[in-house]
Chains A and B, each alone.
Chain A
Amino acid sequence: MKIKKHLILGLSLVMLAFSCSNDNDNIQTEASGAYEDGILITNEGNYSQGNGSVSFVSTDFSYAENTIFSNVNGKLLGDTVQSIEFYEDLAFIIVNNSQKIEVVNRYTFKSVATIDSGLNNPRYMTVLLGKGYVTNWGDGSDPSDDYVAVIDLNTFAITTTISVEEGPERIVSNATTAYVAHKGGYGQNNIVSVIDANATVLKTITVGDVPNSMAFDNLGQLYVLAEGKPSWTQDETAGKLSVIDPTNNTVISSLDFAIDQHPTNLTYGESLYYYMSGKVYKYDVDSTNLPSTAVIEGVNFNYMTVNNGVLYGVDAGDYTNNGIFKSYDLATYTAKNSKEVGIIPGGIYFNN
């Protein structure tokens, strides 16, 4: 009987003795404080977990540093890091769920200011004639409170707001005009708003459903890529590529995808490139047909962009572990480099 007792106790203790190993991720977290001549990657982080961040990777990929904002400033960047816009020596980091914009020196990442009033679900920013224009969803569940906030880039104060239709997302500008693609927020929309330097909505242009990205070509024509409504809406629509002539703000041509094709991430560098179902496609601007074959396959890009003959993309993986930043040579369409970045990478910005 006694032996039995000890055996059971012994067995239980063996289970106690197991220990757990804790893997430490091998990520550079010491601040170098020097972020020129490289690439900034915004990492959205998990909603409400406050783990959004910015990573820096040198142009040659030899150096990488994660969480550069908190490395330099000793505080967390915030919740859901959406995007960055540059203006002179400043970087405006838009932190969606923290309802703020962190303004830093783009080369040292030292904090300059925090804009934390007047924003409600800020998304993207562009600079038009020395003023910042920031798209805001307002309350996600309210379709009628969406706006573009106009920021004085010297005082960092919001000087006015422009009421717009539902779900303003990406915003781009040329010398005179800002263009807002209305993805639709929680719903789906299909317009581009045209805003002038007097903060007036000149008109709205109907494009495909759910316009997710825009790019100017070297002639100044604006290409708008719409992904179409997804099948779960039970009203699936095809993706569409529309070309807007900025001189009269009308759609001069458009190309339709197949009903089950939902392209994203339009980017321009000599040709247009976009991403669809794990593949990258190249579209020459004078072509009358959409490409039928991809130039790069087997990728999983949350976001991608083209710069100097190189395609850069970010893979968010399982959305809870760190993502990966990758580059591809556009002459050979082969993979060049990759680096581990933060959680849910979603933006790539060239800091030079």
Chain B
Amino acid sequence: MKRLVYIFLLFSIGNSTIAQSQLDSIQKLDEVILSDVKLKRYASGYKIRTLGDSILEKNSLSLTDLLRYNSNIYFKENGYGMVSSPSFRGTNASQTAVIWNGININSQLNGQVDFNTINTSNYDAVEIRSGGGSVQYGSGAIGGSVHLSNDLSFTKHTNHTVRMRYGSFDTKLANYGLSTGSEHWSVNFGIAYVNSENDYKYLGTDKINNNGQYDNLSINLNAGYLLNDHHVLKLYHQSFAGDRNFSGTLVAPSKSKYEDTNYRSMLEWDYFQRQYTSKVKVAHLLEEFKYFENKDAEHFSFGRVQSFIGNHNLNIKLTEAIDLRTIIEFAKYTGNGDNFASPNRDEFSATALWRHELSERLIYGLNIRKDFTSDFQSPFVFSVDGEYRFNESYAVKINGSKNFRVPTFNDLYWSPGGNLDLLPESSYQVDLGQEFSSKFIDLKFNAYYINTKDMIQWVPDKTGLFRPQNINKVKTYGSEVELFLKYTIGSHHLNMNSGYSYTVSKNDASAKQLIYVPLHKFNVNLSYSFKVVELFYQHQFNGEVNIIGGQLEKYDVGKLGLSYNYKIAKNVHSILQFNINNLYNTTYENVALRPMPNRNYQLQLTLKF
């Protein structure tokens, strides 16, 4: 990496001041290392939370587990390990976009990502971007977006990570990661396998979760090659194969099974010049599921969608202070399945992003996008954002945007009921944030308002047949506080990160709080480390939520962990970690009648060499 900086510095000298050229080279370095520069460079007015190594390490490796303790996102999980869908800022499951290395991977079938099908062990960072992001990330980025990123490091290095875990309910995990590289090339490889009987107790009953077994395999491979100082080639790949039995509810037994497979591949060619960067990306995504009503029988229903995406990014440095980025993207989606014939859809979008650093204190961005889709009219969307830094410790961030979500293959083509006359959902929002930071404390405070119309809902028509219609209007507003503390005395390190969110999300027609949106959610992570030992505690509080015809009770759940870090040999580190999940043995559900696990334990050994 150092050498690369040096190369860029050499390039820049003689053109402008040294300071400016350093800045340039850092920007170019970002372009080389990161898979999604937009997240860093074109989001001045947005709140972005990065969950890096140290947080990923402590958590359970399922994206649901990670985010429920480290974000204000509420998860509706059909029992532990089952289908898990988010409610981000009071929005529904298909209004949160998941972005894999810059590409939107929400299902074309149902518009959602099942957060239990993402294993975080093979990513360098998980980032949470709050607020509308349709201009940058397309359909579904209404409440916010969750970004999974792999970085490529062009330095001479080889690191191995081996992780093994055993826990209650016969839960086994094995994970191997390799990161290697030189000045010209970089390779990351990760493989993770999880298997669990998942037969936890339903507290307060004599039942157990007797159809909740799951296993999944996740493989990531990323590679980069610096041909010379102007050209980089990159490859990103991810495979996921999951096999789950679907748990029943407290009042309905289940014998069903679900197999899902995802393949995601992307090839990227970057070309750098002093004033501009050009990136060409080609991606292929495949999603496929098989649903067995009876796991012991042979009949199943299936669905599959393939996506081919071509994308060109051009970043032009117009002046020292102004960046312009244009993106054109073409996508072709083809599906087939038991409940629809073989529909396909073509999509073209053109995007322009403008970033202007008016002064050291003030940065603003203007962004526009238009989609053209073969089946329906997509809206013109835009966003405006800005950051004003009053001083080193206080900044105000603001953004406003129009966003959209396209109807899914299910909405359009499902037989019976699919509706080809649907419009995309559209949403306006504003978000105001303040960030205070000092040596020990970081504090973020946000307030937002989202107005979504033409929301797609399946409702019965005159014959009782359920069909999707653009009928719902929802207004959501709320505020969020995030507090981070860091304190060190000698070898004692204290760390805290916490978040509280207040969310009101109401349907225009009923004026009632939407189902599965808690008014209050709070989470905190505390850690104390002394030399080689670290003790940590995580807590989440979820307020009462409305469900159809009733409410789910509020709950508090805690998790305690202890880790011991020691050197086995020269260059071989090991971390032994013991976790107690659901410390207080709380009886709780986050989806009605689907209990979550009782108190349980995990032991994990990580080797790094």
Contacts and interface: CB of A to CB of B under 8 A. Distances in A.
A5 B294 contact: no
Nearest to A120: B294
Contact of B299 (A142, A318, A342): A142
A46 B513 CA distance: 19
Contacts of B463: 230, 262, 277
Given A11-B447, A20-B506, A51 B548 contact: yes
A78 B460 CA distance: 23
Interface in A6-61: 8-9, 11-13, 15-16, 18, 20-23, 45-46, 48-51
Nearest to B300: A141
Interface in A329-349: 342-343
A210 to B, nearest CB: 12
Given A11-B447, A12-B479, A15-B447, A48 B252 contact: yes
A16 B459 contact: no
A29 to B, nearest CB: 11
B302 to A, nearest CB: 11
A99 B253 contact: yes
Contacts of B193: none
B550 A12 contact: no
Contacts of B236: none
A20 B446 CA distance: 19
Interface in B233-280: 249-253
Given A79-B252, A302-B464, A5 B301 contact: no
Given A15-B447, A277-B463, 8 more contacts: A12-B479, A15-B479, A20-B506, A22-B512, A46-B548, A98-B253, A141-B294, A318-B460
B396 A8 contact: yes
Contacts of A12: 432, 434, 445-447, 479
A31 B502 CA distance: 37
A289 interface: no
B253 A50 contact: no
B477 interface: yes
Nearest to B434: A8
A80 B417 CA distance: 21
Interface in B368-421: 390, 394, 396, 415-417
Contact of B293 (A51, A139, A277): A139
B460 A16 contact: no
Contacts of A302: 464
Nearest to B292: A141
B235 to A, nearest CB: 40
Contacts of B294: 139, 141-142
Contact of A319 (B459, B510, B512): B459
A220 interface: no
A209 to B, nearest CB: 15
A26 to B, nearest CB: 14
Nearest to A16: B479
Interface string A165-184: 00000000000000000000
B547 A49 contact: yes
Interface string B501-514: 01010100011110
A13 B301 CA distance: 50
Interface residues of A, number: 49
Contacts of A232: 415-417, 465
A77 B479 CA distance: 39
B478 interface: yes
B14 interface: no
A147 B549 CA distance: 33
B536 to A, nearest CB: 29
Interface in B293-313: 293-294, 297, 299-301
Contacts of A95: 251
A95 B416 CA distance: 25
B462 interface: yes
A11 B299 contact: no
Contacts of B301: 141
A230 B465 CA distance: 10
B308 to A, nearest CB: 30
Contacts of A258: none
Nearest to B396: A8
A95 B478 CA distance: 40
Contacts of B251: 50, 76-79, 95, 98
Most-contacted residue by chain B among A20, A99, A140, A300 (CB, 10 A):
A20
Nearest to A52: B251
B596 interface: no
Contacts of B546: 22
A291 B459 CA distance: 30
B252 A318 contact: no
Contacts of A1: 390
A277 B461 CA distance: 10
Contact of B502 (A16, A22, A320): A16
A278 B461 CA distance: 11
27 contacts: A12-B445, A15-B447, A15-B449, A15-B479, A20-B506, A21-B511, A22-B546, A49-B592, A50-B251, A50-B593, A51-B548, A78-B251, A80-B252, A139-B294, A139-B297, A141-B294, A142-B297, A230-B416, A230-B465, A232-B415, A232-B417, A316-B460, A316-B464, A318-B460, A319-B460, A342-B549, A343-B549
Contact of B250 (A11, A76, A99): A76
A140 B256 CA distance: 12
B328 interface: no
Nearest to A46: B548
Closest CB pairs A-B (n = 10): A232-B416, A79-B252, A12-B447, A50-B251, A15-B447, A50-B593, A78-B251, A97-B252, A139-B294, A16-B479
A25 to B, nearest CB: 8
